[in-house]
Structure 1
C-alpha cells in the first residue's frame, strides 16, 4: 500500500490531465435516475439524486476509500466512474482521457484498464461456468487469449497470486467458500491487466475471520501488480486498515476528504464525527469516556434532498439561518484535508455548541 503525502494529496482541482500522477479525476459528477409514473405512457415526475456534484482525484498506486451510510451514492459513484452508469453531468478523466462521452469500441478497449470487484461473489459469478471459463471469458473479450499455453500460464499465475490451487480451474463457484469465491472474483478482475480496480464492499459479505485475509490479499496484489484501488465500504475499520486517503459521502455528495490517519485522528465534519463515534472501541475505559454523537431524524430521500447543507436536518450543530439555505462548498482546511461544512473550524474547538435536537 502506498502512503500518499497529505501535503500533495489533492490540492485545488484544476483542468483535467494537468498532474501526470493523477490516474482518475472526477469533476462535478452527477448521476440522476428518473422517477417514472403512468400506466400507458410513462412520464418523468422527478429524479433520484444518487450522485450530485462530486469532485475527487485518485493518484496512481494509492488506495482511495469511500465511506458512508447505505443509500449515500457510494456504489453509484463507483459504477459511474467505470461508465457502468451513464453520468447525468460532470466529467470522469482516466489517465488523461475523458470517458464522459465515450462509447462503443473505444470505451470497451478502455475498460480493460478498469475493472470491478463486486460485493457478493456468489451472485457476480456465473454458476454455470467453471472457474477456468470465468477467467478466460474476459481475456477472450479483450483479445488476450492468443494461444493455449500462454493462457494456461496466465491462469496459473493468477491463481497463485490469489492463493488458490490449480485444481480450482475445474470447479464451479458453488463448490467454494465465500472467501474463495471472492478470490476468484479478484482473479477475474486481474485477467485483463487493469490499472484501476473499484472494489465495491469487497469483504462485507464475508465472515469476520475471512475479511482480514481478503484485505491483506488486496494489499499484496497492489504491490505485485502496481494497482490503484477505489475501495467502497461502510465498515470504517476496514477502510482505515487499507486506505491511504478517505472520502466521506452523504446523500450524493462528498462532505469530507483527508488522509486516512488525519481523518480518523481529527474528523472535522459533523457527519464524519458521528460515524466514527459509532465505531466500538475494544477498551471499556476508552469507550466510556469518548464522545458519543447521536443523529436526530432519518436519512432524507435522495429524490427530495434538503435545501442548503444536506446534513443540516440531522446535524447537532446546525444553524438554520445559514445551514438550511446555503450549501457549503468542499473547501480546503489544511493541505489535503477538504470539508463541506460552514462551521468546520468552530465545532472541534468547542466555539459552536450543539443545538437541542428537538
Structure 2
C-alpha cells in the first residue's frame, strides 16, 4: 500500500513528461521541384520527466540537439513525433488558440539577449507585449505596478522602462529577457545558455537571480548549458545529450561523483581543476575525431565511433536503451557496469574522417545555412 502511494505521488508531481520526442529536419535538393533526399536527426527519441519546482540541466557538445529539444518542448519548432505532456496536456497535439493559451505557462530565455529583444521597442513595450497577448494587461495602473515588480525582481531600476535594449550591458539585457519570461507568470522556463555570453562575475549574478526567483515563485527550469560547473551549481538533475539522444541522466551529485557513460566521463574529465597535483593525477579522456553528422548518424550506439571502451559486439550494431542502473540514474550503454567495475579497459581510438553533411556537397539545405545552425 505504501509503495502505491509513493508511486502515485511521484506521478502527480511531474510537470513535464517527454516521451520518444523526435525532430527531423528535411534536407531538400532541386531548383524547381524540391525533393527530400534525407533528414537531419536533430532530436531522435528523447524521453524524460521533470518534476514541479525542479531544475533540469541539459548538457552536451555543440550540435547535439539541446536547443532543438528545448524549442520542441515549447513548440517553437514542430516535433516530428513523440509526446510532450505538460501538466496533463499533450502540447504536441495542440493547435491555434489552445496552443497560444498554453504558452503563457511555458516561456523561454534565449541564448543571445540582444538578438532576442526587439531593438525598436522600449523595455516597457517588450514586457507589456506578452501581458497584453494573454489578457494580463488589465489597466494602466496595475500594469505599471507589475512592471515595477518585474524590474525589481531582476535587479533593474524603474528608469529602465524608458530605455531600449542597446542602452544596456549584456548582463542587464539578460535580466530583461528573464523579466519578459516572468511577465506572463509561467510555471516552466526553458533557459537556453542563459549565461554563456556573459562575464564570469555577471554569470554568478544571473545564476543566483534564477535560483532566488525559483524559490520565490516556485518555477520549474530546463537549463541548457555548455558550462558544466554552472550546470552542477544550479541543477537538481542533469541529462547528457549526444547526437540527438539522451545518453545519461542522474542527480547532479551522482553524475559528477560517478559518471557511468563513456561520453559523460570524457566531458567531466575536460573540466579543469585548480590544483596541479589533482589535475595531473586524475583521469583525462581526449576524444578522437569529430562529432558525426546528425544527417547520417552512426549505426548502433552513436558514440561508438569515438568511444575508448568500444567493444566488437553490440556497440556498432545495436542501439542501447536508456536503462536504470541505480535509483534515478539512467544510462544508455551496453557495457556500463563492466566499465564501472574495471572489467573493460580503455583503448586507443583511431580518428575517423567525418563528412560534415554526409551527403553530396552540392546539396542545398532548405532554410538554415548549415547543420549546426539548424540545431
TM-score (norm 1): 0.95
What corresponds to 1:87 in structure 2?
A: 79
Quick check: 1:273 aligned with 2:265?
Answer: yes
Quick check: 1:356 aligned with 2:348?
Answer: yes
Q: Secondary structure at the match of 2:98?
A: helix
Q: Secondary structure at the match of 1:291?
A: coil
What corresponds to 2:191 in structure 1?
A: 199
Deviation at 1:18, TM superposition (A): 8.2
Q: Which of 296, 309, 316 is the matching residue for 2:301?
A: 309
Structure 2 unaligned segments of length 5 or more: list them.
1-5, 351-375
Instruction: Give the 4+ runs in structure 1 shifted more than 2 A.
Output: none
Deviation at 1:294, TM superposition (A): 1.1
Within-5 A mapping of 1:38-49: 38-49=30-41
Q: Secondary structure at the match of 1:150?
A: helix
Quick check: 1:98 aligned with 2:90?
Answer: yes
Matches of 2:58 and 2:349, distance apart in 1: 28
Q: Which of 93, 114, 123 is the matching residue for 2:115?
A: 123
Deviation at 1:321, TM superposition (A): 2.3
Quick check: 1:139 aligned with 2:139?
Answer: no
What corresponds to 2:151 in structure 1?
A: 159
Matches of 2:44 and 2:95, distance apart in 1: 22
What count of residue pairs does the alignment treat as equivalent? 345
Matches of 1:106 and 1:357, distance apart in 2: 51
Q: Which of 3, 28, 39 is the matching residue for 1:36?
A: 28
Deviation at 1:355, TM superposition (A): 2.4
Matches of 1:133 and 1:193, distance apart in 2: 17
Q: Secondary structure at the match of 2:111?
A: coil
Q: Which of 33, 55, 67 is the matching residue for 2:59?
A: 67
Matches of 1:45 and 1:234, distance apart in 2: 32
Quick check: 1:217 aligned with 2:209?
Answer: yes
Q: Secondary structure at the match of 2:114?
A: helix
Matches of 1:307 and 1:153, distance apart in 2: 57
Matches of 1:27 and 1:109, distance apart in 2: 22
Deviation at 1:320, TM superposition (A): 2.9
Within-5 A mapping of 1:194-343: 194-343=186-335
Q: Deviations over 1:319-339 (max 9, x none)?
A: 132100011000000010000
What corresponds to 1:78 in structure 2?
A: 70
Deviation at 1:79, TM superposition (A): 0.2
Structure 1 unaligned segments of length 5 or more: list them.
1-9
What corresponds to 1:4 in structure 2?
A: none
Matches of 1:281 and 1:294, distance apart in 2: 16
Aligned-CA RMSD value: 1.4
What corresponds to 2:167 in structure 1?
A: 175
